[in-house]
Amino acid sequence: MPRSLLAFLTGLPVALLGGLIGLGGAEFRLPILTGVFGYAVRAAIPLNLAVSFVTLTVSLLIRTGTTPLGTLGPHGGALLSLLAGSVAGAYLGTALAKRLSDRVLESVVFSLLLGVGLLLLLEAFVPFTRGGLNLPPALGIPVGVLLGSGIGIFSSLLGVAGGELLIPTLLLVFGLDIKLAGTGSALISLPTVLTGTLRWRAQGAYLERADLGGVVVPMSLGSVVGALLGGVLLAYAPTGALKFGLGVILLLSAGKTLRDLRRTHAPA
């Protein structure tokens, strides 16, 4: 099968499933880029970010049709503080990834996949609901910057948009409802992913045109089609069961990453 067709066909269902549970699907693309296409983790992360940027742009355009950006006005302080921290974290995260050895970077990716998988399993049984800590602005802004920084580092190290952490943060810490949290997450994630993408490019990523034309572009197209289908099917999807199943898949992917890590770096 041609590489570009395989990229399209793998990008479509990942975005479809991710869209059904409110994520971009980048968490599931990373194991595909390493396991199916054979990229090393360090090479797969910037490619994943590039696909995430395209998918996220389309997702935000779709979401603003039902949740206009103006409705986020009352939560502007929380969103701006998270955005500032997230962009700074993405900038620092790519610098951190450059300094880490392949072994340490792969260990970090394993931990992040494991953590997101467990988070999905938890939410399958205990769905996140709107809460909020009612923080005063003097405290809410530094809390937002701090949390956003951690999310930005997570985004740049795994090549994801960070919605799996941003949405619970907006719900549980800042009290947004689920629709606003989804749109707010996309709004924060877009410049965060762009920052990570540009930083990886400055470090020498995206130089191979075969990677861009044969994987990133067709996988992005598949992801856009999948995201659109996910939006149509959202009303009919058993989201709890999907989160459980995808959480299990991520745990299996984390296990495979750990096995590969041990095999690759085992002493001779």
Domain count, the chain: 1
Mean pLDDT rounded to a whole number for the chain: 82
Q: What is the pLDDT of residues 45-95, one digit of tens each?
A: 899 989 988 888 887 777 776 667 778 888 888 899 999 999 999 999 888
Assign 105 a pLDDT band (cuts: 50, 70, 90).
confident
Whether 13 is in a domain gets the answer yes
137-179 pLDDT per residue, tens: 788 889 999 999 999 998 888 777 777 788 888 888 888 877 7
161: in domain: yes
Distance CA 144, CA 124 (A): 26
pTM: 0.81
Token duo for residue 137 = 């602005």
Q: What local confidence, expressed as pLDDT, does residue 101 receive?
A: 84
268 within a domain of the structure (yes/no)? no
DSSP type of residue 204: T
Q: Residue 27 is part of which domain span?
A: 3-263
User: Is 232 contained in some domain?
Assistant: yes
| Confidence (pLDDT) at 14 | 81
- Cα-based angle 204, 208, 211 (whole degrees, multiple of 5): 115
Beta-carbon contacts of residue 62 (< 8 Å; ≥ 6 apart): 227, 228, 231
Question: Phi-psi bin for 204: left (phi > 0), alpha (psi -120 to 50), beta?
Answer: left
Q: 266 pLDDT exceeds 70?
A: no
Domain-embedded: residue 190: yes
